[in-house]
Amino acid sequence: MHSTLPLYINGEFTPSKAERTIPVTNPATQLTLTNAPCATNQEVERAIGSAKAAFASWKETPSPERARLMLRYQQLLKEHHDELAEILSQETGKVFADAKGDVWRGIEVVEQACNISSLMMGETAENVARDIDTYSYIQPLGVCAGITPFNFPAMIPLWMFPLAIACGNTFVLKPSEQDPMTPMRLAELFDEAGFPKGLLQVVHGDKEQVDQIINHPDIKAISFVGSAHVGQHIYRTGTHNLKRVQCMTGAKNHMVVMPDANKQQVINHLVGASVGAAGQRCMAISVAVFVGESKAWIPEIKAAIANVKPGLWNDEDAGFGPVISPQAKSRILSLIEQGRKEGANCELDGSSFTLPEYPEGNWVGPTLFSGVTPDMTIYKEEIFGPVLLTMESESLENAVTLVNQNPYGNGTSIFTESGSAARYFQHNIEVGQVGINVPIPVPLPFFSFTGWKNSFYGDHHAYGKQGVRFYTETKTVTSRWFDEDALHGPNMTITLK
């Protein structure tokens, strides 16, 4: 009998009364680690109600006090960094180094949330008209919610609730049911940091619980990261219900390789960016576009990727771990087979890879295709596995056109020694996050995560200044103080005089 995770409601970790639970399994062994309860309607309602009640006093808490609590929280996260990474490795299958990176990128956002006093400063202008001043305040929204995916169970929750709470909001988190143990440990450390009760709520479940959250009238803003299909549903439902919504969804990220690039750097970075984390990154490079003579490097790319071996989380020689679930593995293998049927050259096939000691694991070996064209299914769909597609282009201009015609716009990169080529690329590419000799250009948290096109639905992006805007509203005050008892007649216009 495996334990069942509690819910975190009103500052207490309490067992759920749910009749239905979801097993949380180790992707390498299929052994059940724990169970996630599908919270009842009453429990979700209680969590939202608790968050709403806590907002009344939390919004009045001075921002320096909020920042001091966040400083304590980031210190606890650093103290428990490796512990969090080990929990994360067990439930996601990530190798330990990758898991530590997941945790650390989340801590960086918490560090930025510690600057909340300056981030929430408004603007002032004196004498906008005679004896009239105008100034603005930035104020919190209320109860916010986050729906997070399986692939970054530390980083993405930490993109959301620390910044929202630092802004003066309260927050309801519904983590992925596939790996909720890490988010629960984040909640335990949040509790230990001494925050008031009710600021953070954690409820578990699946679509039923998500729909209850996004339809609830007391939820003012929803942040989501996950599949395009689910993201579109959340965006349409949330905006229909007059909520502020931020949905980061699918991707098909290209790396353009120029013939003047440093070949060894291209090989090193492309291997890690494509099959690292088993390709389960929304910013993974899944398509490499070789321009001109650089196509001659494809055999060396193949050799380098072939040397990467999947393995257990604590195997220092393993390049990446298993994919998250048998269903994910089945989908990846189906797309690999579809690529063959549609005429792509499968240069390296990881479909049959297994780890003899753990044959039940969700193993997929590194896979490489050449001769890929834009009409193929493997190009049009996000594979989300350790699969790299290679394409060829006669010119940088054609490569840019290819990237721009893709419906996604999450991330892209160019490897080149030419400043002119890099300038042309960054200026003309229609993608939100661009790397120049950087394969996975995820911005540090004082900037914002800025996916474009079908990779994002909403108005304000995650973390950075746009994240603060997403979790706040601006109030503008126009003020005049009179020195005399009466006006010199009525002002019949809207002009400030």
Report the pLDDT value the prediction gives residue 486, as an integer from 0 to 100: 56
For residue 102, give both structure tokens. 């997941």
* Alpha helix segments (H runs only) across 94-206: 96-113, 116-119, 155-166, 181-192
- Identify the CA nearest to 270 among candidates 229, 292, 301, 242: 301
Q: DSSP 3-state assignment of 405?
A: helix
Is 282 catalytic? The answer is yes
Report the pLDDT value the prediction gives residue 495, as an integer from 0 to 100: 75
- Give percent of the chain with pLDDT exceeding 70: 98
415/186 Cα distance (integer angstroms): 37
Residue 27's pLDDT band (cuts 50, 70, 90): very high
pTM here? 0.96
C-beta atoms surrounding 232 within 10 Å: 15
- Give percent of the chain with pLDDT exceeding 90: 96
For residue 358, give both structure tokens. 């753990």
Q: What is the mean pLDDT of the chain?
A: 96
411/353 Cα distance (integer angstroms): 29
Residue from 114, 144, 167, 282 carrying the catalytic annotation: 282
Report the pLDDT value the prediction gives residue 1, as an integer from 0 to 100: 45
Note the pLDDT tens digit of each residue in 171-199. Answer: 999 999 999 999 999 999 999 999 999 99
**Parallel, antiparallel, or unpaired: how do β-strands 367-370 and 387-393 relate?**
parallel
Q: What is the mean pLDDT of residues 388-407?
A: 98
Note the pLDDT tens digit of each residue in 412-438. Answer: 999 999 999 999 999 999 999 999 999
Q: Measuring CA to CA, how many Å separate 255 from each of 92, 181, 262, 266, 412?
A: 26, 34, 14, 10, 6
* Alpha helix segments (H runs only) across 291-368: 298-306, 326-341
Note the pLDDT tens digit of each residue in 38-84. Answer: 999 999 999 999 999 999 999 999 999 999 999 999 999 999 999 99
Note the pLDDT tens digit of each residue in 356-381. Answer: 999 999 999 999 999 999 999 999 99
Report the pLDDT value the prediction gives residue 485, as an integer from 0 to 100: 60
Residue 488 pLDDT > 80, yes or no?
Answer: no
Beta strands in 375-466 (DSSP E): 387-393, 408-409, 411-415, 433-436, 452-453, 456-458
11/353 Cα distance (integer angstroms): 45
Note the pLDDT tens digit of each residue in 117-170. Answer: 999 999 999 999 999 999 999 999 999 999 999 999 999 999 999 999 999 999
